[in-house]
Structure 1
Amino acid sequence: MKIEIKQYFDSITRYAAALAVAVCSLALTQSVHAQAATSIEKQSLKILGLGNSFLKNATNMLPGIVKDSGHELILGVAAPGGCTIQRHYDAALLGEANPEDPKAKLYDYNNQKMTLKEMLTAEKWDYVTIQQSSPNSFKIDTYRPYAQNLYDYIKKYTPQAEVVFHQTWAWRPDHNRQNMDKNPPGFMYQELTRNYNTIAKEVGIKKIIPVGNAFQLAEETPEWKFARDPDFDYHNPKYPELPQEPNSLNGGFAWRGTDGADKVFKLDGSHANGAGSYLAACVWYEFFFGGDVRKITRNPRFLGERAASLREFAHQAVNGTRPKAWPSGTSPE
Structure 2
Amino acid sequence: MIKVSPISRRTFILFLILFSVEVTFSLAQSSGSEKPLRLFMIGNSFSQNASKYLPELSKEGGHALVIGRAEIGGSSLQRHWDHAEAAERNPDDPQGKPYNGKSLKTLLSDGVWDIVTIQQASILSGDVETYRPYAQKLYDYVKKLQPNAKVVFHQTWAYRTDSKDFSRIATGDSAKSAEQMWAKSRAAYHTIADELGIPIIPNGDAFWKINSSSKWAYHKDDTFDSKQAKSPALPDQTHSLHVGYRWDKDKLAFDSHHANAAGCYLGGLVWYSFLFRESPVKLTFKPDEVDTDFARQLRKVAWKTVKKEKKAKIK
Taking structure 2 as the reference length, what is the TM-score of the superposition? 0.84
Question: Equivalent residue for 1:279?
Answer: 266
Equivalent residue in structure 2 for 1:213, among 205, 216, 219: 205
Question: Equivalent residue for 2:26?
Answer: 35
Report 1:239-254 matches (<5 A): 239-254=231-246
Q: 1:179 to 1:191 in 2, by over 3 A?
A: closer
Equivalent residue in structure 2 for 1:204, among 181, 194, 197: 197
Equivalent residue in structure 2 for 1:177, among 158, 165, 170: 165
Question: Equivalent residue for 1:3?
Answer: none
Q: 1:71 to 1:178 in 2, by over 3 A?
A: closer
1:301 and 2:293 matched: no
In 1, Cα distance between equivalents of 2:209 and 2:241: 12
CA contact (8 A) 2:155 2:200 kept: yes
Question: Equivalent residue for 2:223?
Answer: 231
In 2, Cα distance between equivalents of 1:252 and 1:159: 41
1:124 and 2:124 matched: no
Question: Equivalent residue for 1:82?
Answer: 74
Question: Equivalent residue for 1:320?
Answer: 308
1:150 and 2:143 matched: no
> Residue 87 of structure 1: SS of its match in structure 2?
helix
Q: 1:179 to 1:212 in 2, by over 3 A?
A: closer
Q: Which amino acid aligns with 2:102?
A: M
> Residue 246 of structure 2: SS of its match in structure 1?
strand
CA deviation after TM superposition for structure 1 residue 107, in Å = 1.6
CA deviation after TM superposition for structure 1 residue 62, in Å = 0.5
Kindly tell me the number of residue pairs found equivalent between the two proteins: 287
Unpaired segments of 5 or more residues in structure 2?
1-18, 169-173
CA deviation after TM superposition for structure 1 residue 197, in Å = 0.5
CA RMSD of aligned residues (A): 2.6
* Cα offsets for 1:123-160 (capped at 9, x unmatched): 20000000000000011111011111111111111101
* Cα offsets for 1:160-212 (capped at 9, x unmatched): 1000000010001111125889725510000010000000111232x100111
Question: Equivalent residue for 2:7?
Answer: none
* Cα offsets for 1:42-66 (capped at 9, x unmatched): 5520000001000000011101111
Q: Which amino acid aligns with 2:276?
A: F
In 2, Cα distance between equivalents of 1:193 and 1:309: 22
Q: 1:43 to 1:291 in 2, by over 3 A?
A: farther
The structure with the largest alpha-carbon Rg is 1
Question: Equivalent residue for 2:255?
Answer: 268
1:310 and 2:311 matched: no
Q: 1:41 to 1:211 in 2, by over 3 A?
A: farther
